[in-house]
Structure 1
């Protein structure tokens, strides 16, 4: 997550300096886009960081969505949460398969880190419409980070199966962001 946050912070700093991304313009081959945030495709994503952050993202998505399945007040939020549990369970399996195929020694963490646990704790502390709003905000942030991570590794990664996994997962993450935008 720290790598994704650093990439996002760097992109935001560039945006603040007047280097705004324009989705209508022809895409630059050296820039990946994550919701109007330019992410330099040349910024390498280390395999160990990718494995850790992709796994943490999935664990968080599943845990937060399990909460939403029972705590959300909106039927749309509950439907989205069910879809996230299914989708992120599948991407977890895909990540593990790619790690095994590439023979990567880095293993996914077994539990959420403090940052992700704090997000879960914040959700547990809310109810009703406040829960729904916080869940949607957290999901948007998490999916933006995941999209940047997937695009970054797909472009700069050094493990073939993990690069393929990242490349195939990025459009799925974008679909989740589109779903959130329609809620």
Structure 2
């Protein structure tokens, strides 16, 4: 029931954006905004409660973060944004490596995703297509949403009866640090 409601809400957001402003960036911004409740709901429900949902969501979250950071390192002209992007890339690569080492022991039959899901790929596409003038704001807005989603996912799973709960607990402080820095940058923009 949750998926149809969220899909309907996302469609309404997109239609409103398309009707009020027809620029591609307005549509991209609406897509990014529609992604937020979908990601939060997924993280809070299935991802935080089921190891079979936590594994792909944690892995794709890191994949998205690394790809977004790479784009920001190439495109941003803001030293603080680049500093955040480098921190995100370093920390999420370390988290990915630790996670990949833990998953086979915790869930021998689990397959780690090798590509982003459609929602996260859409965020990457929108980041790539952002104009130079709007790039930093787009990156920071996406990072605030993505790190809030990641906190919901990892905090929720940290109390589960799984060896991966230790991983969830270990990444929360880094995610909180990224979120704080992104919020500080946004406030200064």
CA deviation after TM superposition for structure 1 residue 79, in Å: 1.3
Deviates more, 1:101-110 or 1:52-61: 101-110
Two-structure CA RMSD over aligned residues (Å): 2.4
CA deviation after TM superposition for structure 1 residue 72, in Å: 1.0
Higher helix share: 2
**Does the residue aligned with 2:114 lie in a helix, a strand or coil?**
coil
CA deviation after TM superposition for structure 1 residue 8, in Å: 3.4
Q: Alignment length, in residue pairs? A: 150
1:105 maps to 2:96: no
Once superposed, which parts of structure 1, at least 4 consecutive aligned residues long, lie more than 4 Å away? 4-7
**Does the residue aligned with 2:133 lie in a helix, a strand or coil?**
helix
Where structure 2 has 5 or more consecutive residues not aligned to the other structure, the ranges are 4-35
CA contact (8 A) 1:47 1:158 kept: no
Distance 1:5 1:109 in 2: 22
TM-score (norm 1): 0.74
Higher strand share: 1
Distance 1:66 1:9 in 2: 27
Deviation per residue, 1:64-91 (Å, 9 max, x gap) = 1100001112111111111111111001
1:87 maps to 2:94: no
Distance 1:121 1:166 in 2: 28
CA contact (8 A) 2:48 2:54 kept: no
Query: Within 5 A, what are the aligned runs for 1:48-127?
Result: 48-127=52-131
